[in-house]
Amino acid sequence: MSLHAMEIRELTDEELAEELTRAKDEIARLRYRAAFEELENPSLLRTLRRDIARLKTVQVERARSEESQVG
């Protein structure tokens, strides 16, 4: 899956929140499966963690830019 920063920045705030929720749900599901069976693609966990970090980074950047515009 792996989202790129350019793709993430094109998302609206609502889409960004939805994508973050989806990624968190997916990583939770994979971690649960990993506890009971071997995953087909264990590197997917790493990819999802990085996607979540990218999504959160863009959210923080947007929040900070809104603060600087208001303040």
The pLDDT tens digits of the residues spanning 2-42 come to: 788 899 999 999 999 999 999 999 999 999 999 999 999 99
Question: CA 17, 19, 20 angle in degrees (round to 5)?
Answer: 65
pLDDT number for residue 1: 62
More confident residue, 71 or 46: 46
Instruction: Write out the DSSP string of 21-46.
Output: HHHHHHHHHHHHHHHHS--S-THHHH
pLDDT number for residue 2: 77
pLDDT number for residue 71: 67
| Cα distance between residue 5 and residue 11, in whole Å | 10
| Cα distance between residue 55 and residue 3, in whole Å | 9
Q: What is the DSSP-derived secondary structure letter of residue 49?
A: H
Residue ranges and CATH numbers for the domains of the chain are: 5-70 (1.10.287.310)
Q: State the average pLDDT over residues 55-63.
A: 95
The residue length of the chain stands at 71
